Amino acid sequence: MLAIVLAAIVAAAPSPAPTPHLKVIVTVKSTTFCTAVRNMAVPIGYVTRRNEEAFGAIDHSLLKFLEGVRGVSAANVSDMQSLESELDDTDIYTPMSTLSVMQMQKISYEIFQNLTLEDQVMDRSLKQYPKGASPTVDALRQRMQNLMDLQRGLANQYEEFNSIYLDNMGRGKFTDDAASFKSLLRNTILGLSSALAAAHRESDPELLPQADAHDVAFSGSVAGIVKELRLQDLAFSNEIVTAGDTCGI
């Protein structure tokens, strides 16, 4: 079963892969490391792949959303002066667009549920092998934490957009500053669509993943999160293959 899961993780990974900053030494078989691979890396890796599929579904819904709001662009000074009275519901809140965002919200919830499962696996790993007990386990666990943080950060970005859109439906004309709200909504749309485009471009093979991706995940731009997630994912795909061979998985 583990071999099947491992194959699924590797098959879903893009290529080619860059050399990681974070060194995970997996050339020497040890009970501690191999147990961590089986009990922590493989389960989290599997759920991570499920989340990658979910993000793909969100991207599809976002594309559908963008089809329904063609022509919506960042608000400049002139636009701001002309958007004083009410939100242009007819431009942004079309039936198709609203349905797309509701689908994005549903998928985001599923991603957060998956991340909760990953947190539970990580907590069990920390109890079994406390930080500092094994450098190789610590390094592997940091790679998994990077993936989890980046996926959580990206899901937060989508969820923030979902909330801005759905919670303010039809309320633009009742706000004290409808123009600023509309500008925020438009710029959020553009930020997500730009990140989506960046996600489908090939990564520079010279770029290396960061040793700790926490700051990027929770303070970086949408495009920055997507870019780092791809780098971490590529590094992990290489490491899990070597780990599988070493541990006989």
Give the pLDDT confidence of 190-212 residue by residue, as tens digits. Answer: 666 666 666 555 555 567 899 99
Q: What is the pLDDT of residue 156?
A: 92
Instruction: Name the residue with higher pLDDT: 66 or 43.
Output: 43
Distance (Å, rounded) from C-alpha 104 to C-alpha 94? Answer: 15
pLDDT band at 65 (very low <50, low <70, confident <90, very high): confident
Looking at every residue in the chain, the average pLDDT score rounds to 78
The residue-averaged pLDDT of 100-116 equals 94
The residue-averaged pLDDT of 151-155 equals 94
Instruction: Name the residue with higher pLDDT: 8 or 187.
Output: 187
Distance (Å, rounded) from C-alpha 91 to C-alpha 82? Answer: 15
| Predicted confidence (pLDDT) at residue 89 exceeds the cutoff of 70 | no
| Predicted confidence (pLDDT) at residue 130 exceeds the cutoff of 70 | yes
Q: What is the pLDDT of residue 86?
A: 46
Q: What is the pLDDT of residue 17?
A: 47
